[in-house]
Amino acid sequence: MTTMTPTMTRTISDQELLALERSYWDALKDRDARTVGRLTAEQCTVAGARGASVVDPRSMVKQVETATHRIKDYRIDPGAVINRFSDDLVAIAYGVHEDLEVDGKPVKLDAFDSSVWHRTDNGWTCVLHTESLQGDPFGRDKMLVHKGS
């Protein structure tokens, strides 16, 4: 008589998830288009200052290869928030500091990012990524002040 043992699936640990997120950041920083493509889901929703879109691995590879800005360094703040929807679907949100080069000039920014990672037979891929620049939640720090108003 053969007995079948159910396969135990193990969710990703906090440390593994943070390492996965850093792998994506490192690939962007190093302009490692192949790794960025491998870690991007076939349909990955992206939202940030430029708007919202759905990208796939091929379009992310092209974006990395043709980027006009460069990530010089980044730092993910301690205290990331992790939410496990299932063993195969996990979200992470965190503050991040970025040192960039844009149009040949240094730019520093602070933001809050979130990613949702999905495990498939091919490993973990990012299905959603958002970035919100840090600042006043009502945008008052970005409003132009008009004299005489």
96 - beta bridge partners? 76, 111
- DSSP characters over the chain: ----PPPPP-PPPHHHHHHHHHHHHHHHHTT-HHHHHHHEEEEEEEEETTEEEEE-HHHHHHHHHH-SEEEEEEEEPS--EEEEEETTEEEEEEEEEEEEEETTEEEEEEEEEEEEEEEETTEEEEEEEEEEESS-TTSGGGPPPPTT-
Provide CB contacts within 8 A for 84, sequence distance 6+: 11, 90, 91
Domain boundaries, the chain: 14-136
The pLDDT value recorded for residue 5 is 45
pLDDT digits (tens, 9 = 90+) for 130-146: 999 999 888 888 877 65
Say what the pTM is: 0.87
14-136 is a CATH 3.10.450.50 domain:
yes
Average pLDDT over residues 55-76: 96
pLDDT digits (tens, 9 = 90+) for 78-136: 999 999 999 999 999 999 999 999 999 999 999 999 999 999 998 999 999 999 999 98
User: Considering the chain, what is the average pLDDT of its residues?
Assistant: 91
Q: Is the pLDDT of residue 2 over 90?
A: no
The pLDDT value recorded for residue 10 is 74
